[in-house]
Structure 1
């Protein structure tokens, strides 16, 4: 907890000082309501609690730094090893995943973009195109999968009503960063249309760290009549990213810009082409019944030369989601729906002959494997919300998940062939919540059941055979929370206390540089406190000062975890910091000038299950100055400049747990965060 208490005490002192000042003279000082955050349409059903972020939060950060924005939400932590290597954890769920994000569901404009193996890729979307992000923590998101981690809903920017606008945002920065986003938006009585093209490149902070991406996004909504509409979504990203990988303690301390030696020698990289196509139809049948149905297709082409082999894969995904919403049914409101996702995953590996390529990096050799997987997930869901009194509401939900895998080994024959199928038993996922409305806010309580599927690869033995003993992780979540607005809505306070017990904990053991085996190994207990405070103080007619703080307490531990001869029961959960703070200060002037100072504290993280090694805690500060003005009735201008990692802190932005040593090399636990870096940008808008 080194360095934790001083920033916390300082920020609490600021909050208490401001609160006392308002209590003394709230009427004379705050004679109008000051908005603390953008008003974001809520996707969570009924009284389901969620956290939202909007453009006001996004604009505090570098336009490539989606991780810092997500980390503003208490209980949510994204470990970002690189722009293309992100792992989102919610309440500690997903922290033991070696790479990538799983155990939650991700949605983009209401369309599920989590693949058949349960993996989600946040980097498939351009940060500058986002208008809002909503997070449902824990498995209470019945209508969004009831995964143990929860659900994240991303939505694109909405056009201004009855306006046509062309804008361009251009940003340059340290490490050769250049980013451009050109967008067009139109709205009238019949049509909403948005199109954006983005280009981004950077040399990166570390060796072997270049990144280049091009992409476009098309959104449209056609009003077919007063009660129906048709929507189209096309998102395409094409990027190539070099991979510096994780480094050991010595390299991290001496020179964090180094890449791992084997990845540097192989000049490892990944090349991705990702496309999402979605078509949605909404129909209002009556005042109390409407339906939205979406069909969608995803395509991912991925090529990744690694030191140990070359992975070549592509995935075709297909799906449908339909949701009926009704009101005034036996005095309450209901939601019924279904979500079906099927994909075909083709993958193979080849020898990497980089050692024989005269220092020119990776060279593809003979094929080592060829595989095909068919993966299917079906979610059925329903919720019913009923007002017990004017102030007390209850909500019941029930979900059902059915998952199956069909794995085909197309390379080995006869006895060496490892083709197999695995169908998990259908699992019921009940949910019960209540909410009580107070004069200044509300209190709620919830109990829900959730689950997480292992991927098919995680169910394989070292010999490549299906292990029928592997079960889904299952957990029960209990939580109590509240949301309040005080002092003429200038102060908002949200808190949540929760406790979740997860059985059949899925753990992965690394048995090779690219080989993991999985098994169920006991039980974990996730409990904690999440606290969010925002305050707005009007210093004068023109200036508003807004401090804010999000605090997360993670008291997570292994309840029952025996690994062969080692008993880790009672140890803190690996990969999770006990304390985390995201805080900051906004200063806004009515002339369009805005200054943001943001701070993140992350406590030490246990790196091994036996708790023999921890990462170091750290504090990181970012600052940004922005100015927005109108040059004429039709032309707007925005300028901004920022500094990330203000004090040039050497910190681990992501870590690997239980890292192994191969070939006598030291274990590689750390992904360094970028050193101090600067950026600046200009945005021009023209209203047609």
Structure 2
């Protein structure tokens, strides 16, 4: 009831402000024209038999600092984004509870950026190279989608960068400053010339952090070129990142009461953090042939990092090569896609003892390889009031490790693992009225352990953990979507997912701060999601979303303890989010974001439900001025955590010593100026 009252208060305060809108030449922004691409074939959002949410343009970027992907994924039902304000470990993103186990990076959720997988073959995702301020569109499949995307597809996020401007040359420059030593500089330039397009961008972030030992220095850049000639479209994208960040670690409840801004003392002593570099290149070719098209793409990633944690220093070098080919055809109301893809990941991993931030004796030295190959087919059919979508995919993964640290007292732990999965999905949507549709689907997902999770063995041995298996999910869902008016959209969904061999993180006494993994026998996730979107004028958007997630273990025994029935930690049962953006083409604009998160369980051994991160409610606000169409000067100012609430932005699941909590910052000021020119 608390969450519903909070949502009602936010909406009551937000929607009357729409009356302040200035008149515009267009009366409404028709929401039914939204077409989703994430399902593999363009389908109107109203007719899609799976839940897909879309966020676009100003909602992502307008007067925001560009610090995290929470800007692009706010007020989407079923999506939980925990911005830890810690660039050494990144955000935690979960969809319907999948991904909540991640202690760094993203797990269980597949992410693509401009068509290039940010999720590696082994299922782990790092998003250091993604600049939220450079994004134009985010699409989210809420729920299992391995039939469409393969490994780690408990949910899917497709991010699209700002396209090349429709002008010979356009540039944009932005400076943002704020509390906690925030300074961010951005520049971009792009344009079109005949059949060619181009865009390049760069940004620099300096941030001292709300907590001690939490500073960051990130340099990002990228670019894209495109060329069209006749039936052929060619494209290339490149991006890079160099980052340096320190990790303050999590805190216990007693430490929070002393000082919420402190770093854990051992993290400071051991100089924990991460320094990394990554470069990525993607190439694409599309050829239209009659009613069909051939799409071919290839990508390469190079990454290196130095990662001191409290017990060890991890030195990792990674190379990834991958490609995809698909043929899309159609006849009448039928369309189909068939193809294959594969990738190979090569890691050189070395681990040393951490001696006050300096490398000690070698503890691990191994070469790790992951390769996968897959074949897939998908079909859609629009048959009167019915919209059908079916998909089938087969994936085969080969993990291998070559242990190079072998001695008389340290046996050779080289070996390999082969994992495979057949992933079907089927969905149907029925237009019961012109502007109302009901849908149902059954979908599957699988998730292999990542190389990091396989390599972290509680025994301290090298090689891969032979007891860790892939997580598999089957989900059943029903829902409905309705266009209440040309500018009003509402949807609701209910689902039940069964998870086998759920991957669960834990820590041990001998290695605090280092995370290990085990499989729970069974778990089930069930929930209800609802959302409302209003867009009465171009540039004016109000969103509200409510999520209820009940994730519990069904069969889970650790030693002599039976943990069946306990909640899966890291997942907030209730979330309410609302946002309002009034952003006309010229003149003043304003935005407000509100969020309520219920108490979040932190340990799977907590049968009584007494260990939880407390519930919290946050309010952010931003205002500014949008300049003229040419030579724009656009100042803005914003305040996050306007009411200065104390809250924990994230939790560390099953942390040793009760250090479950990662505190969020108090009230913070953000101010900036954007200059844009067009010729």
Q: After TM superposition, is the score higher than 0.5? A: yes
Q: Is the 8 A contact 1:38 1:56 kept in 2?
A: no
Question: Partner of 2:284: helix, strand, or coil?
Answer: strand
- Is 1:510 the counterpart of 2:507? The answer is yes
- 1:77 equivalent among 64, 72, 80: 80
Q: State the match for 2:664 in structure 1.
A: 673
Whole-Å separation in 1 of the counterparts to 2:225 and 2:32: 26
Question: Partner of 2:634: helix, strand, or coil?
Answer: strand
Question: Partner of 2:183: helix, strand, or coil?
Answer: strand
Q: State the match for 2:630 in structure 1.
A: 634
Q: State the match for 1:4 in structure 2.
A: 3
Q: State the match for 1:571 in structure 2.
A: 566
Q: State the match for 1:486 in structure 2.
A: 484
Q: Is the 8 A contact 1:146 1:399 kept in 2?
A: no
Q: State the match for 1:645 in structure 2.
A: 641
Task: Give the stretch that moved more between structures: 435-444 or 31-40.
Answer: 31-40
Q: State the match for 1:453 in structure 2.
A: 448
Task: Give the stretch that moved more between structures: 244-253 or 311-320.
Answer: 244-253
Q: State the match for 1:25 in structure 2.
A: none
| Residue 69 of structure 1: how far off its partner (Å) | 3.3
Q: Is the 8 A contact 1:40 1:54 kept in 2?
A: no
Whole-Å separation in 1 of the counterparts to 2:389 and 2:632: 46
Alignment gaps of 5+ in structure 2: 42-47
- 1:100 equivalent among 86, 92, 105: 105
Q: How does 1:323-362 map to 2 (within 5 A)?
A: 323-328=326-331, 332-354=334-356, 362=357
Q: State the match for 2:45 in structure 1.
A: none
- Is 1:378 the counterpart of 2:369? The answer is no
Question: Partner of 2:8: helix, strand, or coil?
Answer: helix
Whole-Å separation in 1 of the counterparts to 2:516 and 2:207: 36
Q: 1:401 to 1:627 in 2, by over 3 A?
A: same
CA RMSD of aligned residues (A): 2.6
Question: Partner of 2:527: helix, strand, or coil?
Answer: strand
| Residue 350 of structure 1: how far off its partner (Å) | 1.9
Q: 1:64 to 1:107 in 2, by over 3 A?
A: same
| Residue 507 of structure 1: how far off its partner (Å) | 2.4
- 1:255 equivalent among 242, 259, 262: 259
- 1:238 equivalent among 223, 242, 245: 242
Q: Is the 8 A contact 1:140 1:446 kept in 2?
A: no
Question: Partner of 1:67: helix, strand, or coil?
Answer: helix
- Is 1:303 the counterpart of 2:306? The answer is yes
- Is 1:429 the counterpart of 2:431? The answer is no
- Is 1:477 the counterpart of 2:470? The answer is no
Question: Partner of 1:57: helix, strand, or coil?
Answer: helix
Q: Is the 8 A contact 1:161 1:188 kept in 2?
A: no
Q: Is the 8 A contact 2:98 2:155 kept in 1?
A: no
Whole-Å separation in 2 of the counterparts to 1:37 and 1:370: 55
Q: 1:318 to 1:414 in 2, by over 3 A?
A: farther
| Residue 508 of structure 1: how far off its partner (Å) | 3.2
Q: Deviations over 1:174-232 (max 9, x none)?
A: 11211111101112331110000111101111101111111211111111x21102111
Task: Give the stretch that moved more between structures: 59-68 or 213-222.
Answer: 59-68
If the length of structure 2 is used for normalisation, what is the TM-score?
0.91
Q: How does 1:194-343 map to 2 (within 5 A)?
A: 194-223=199-228, 225-286=229-290, 288-328=291-331, 332-343=334-345
- 2:674 equivalent among 643, 659, 683: 683
Q: State the match for 2:524 in structure 1.
A: 525
- Is 1:594 the counterpart of 2:589? The answer is yes
- Is 1:412 the counterpart of 2:418? The answer is no
Task: Give the stretch that moved more between structures: 405-414 or 417-426.
Answer: 417-426
Q: State the match for 1:137 in structure 2.
A: 142
Q: Deviations over 1:227-262 (max 9, x none)?
A: 102111110000101111111112223321101101
Whole-Å separation in 2 of the counterparts to 1:514 and 1:255: 20
| Residue 345 of structure 1: how far off its partner (Å) | 0.5
| Residue 278 of structure 1: how far off its partner (Å) | 0.9
Q: Is the 8 A contact 1:138 1:150 kept in 2?
A: yes
Q: Is the 8 A contact 1:175 1:204 kept in 2?
A: yes
Q: How does 1:648-663 map to 2 (within 5 A)?
A: 648-661=644-657
Q: Is the 8 A contact 1:207 1:244 kept in 2?
A: yes
Q: Deviations over 1:525-550 (max 9, x none)?
A: 11111111122457xxxx99754211
Q: Give the structure, 1 or 2, with the largest relative contact order (CA under 8 Å, sep 6 or more).
A: 2
Whole-Å separation in 1 of the counterparts to 2:315 and 2:32: 44
| Residue 15 of structure 1: how far off its partner (Å) | 9.1
Whole-Å separation in 2 of the counterparts to 1:466 and 1:309: 18
Task: Give the stretch that moved more between structures: 560-569 or 143-152.
Answer: 143-152
Q: 1:493 to 1:501 in 2, by over 3 A?
A: same
Question: Partner of 1:9: helix, strand, or coil?
Answer: helix
Q: State the match for 2:44 in structure 1.
A: none
Q: How does 1:150-229 map to 2 (within 5 A)?
A: 150-223=155-228, 225-229=229-233
Task: Give the stretch that moved more between structures: 555-564 or 189-198.
Answer: 555-564
| Residue 520 of structure 1: how far off its partner (Å) | 2.5
Question: Partner of 2:627: helix, strand, or coil?
Answer: strand
Q: 1:121 to 1:185 in 2, by over 3 A?
A: same
Q: Is the 8 A contact 2:233 2:287 kept in 1?
A: yes
Task: Give the stretch that moved more between structures: 451-460 or 252-261.
Answer: 451-460
Q: Deviations over 1:343-387 (max 9, x none)?
A: 111111223222xxxxxxx22333332111011122321111123
Q: Is the 8 A contact 1:38 1:55 kept in 2?
A: no
Whole-Å separation in 1 of the counterparts to 2:539 and 2:92: 35
Q: 1:500 to 1:15 in 2, by over 3 A?
A: farther
| Residue 88 of structure 1: how far off its partner (Å) | 1.0
| Residue 132 of structure 1: how far off its partner (Å) | 1.0
Q: 1:265 to 1:295 in 2, by over 3 A?
A: same
Q: Is the 8 A contact 2:38 2:140 kept in 1?
A: no
| Residue 161 of structure 1: how far off its partner (Å) | 2.7
| Residue 11 of structure 1: how far off its partner (Å) | 4.2
Alignment gaps of 5+ in structure 1: 22-28, 355-361, 662-666
Whole-Å separation in 2 of the counterparts to 1:415 and 1:434: 59
Q: Deviations over 1:488-535 (max 9, x none)?
A: x12110212111111122223323225544332211111111111122
Whole-Å separation in 1 of the counterparts to 2:10 and 2:645: 21
| Residue 77 of structure 1: how far off its partner (Å) | 0.7
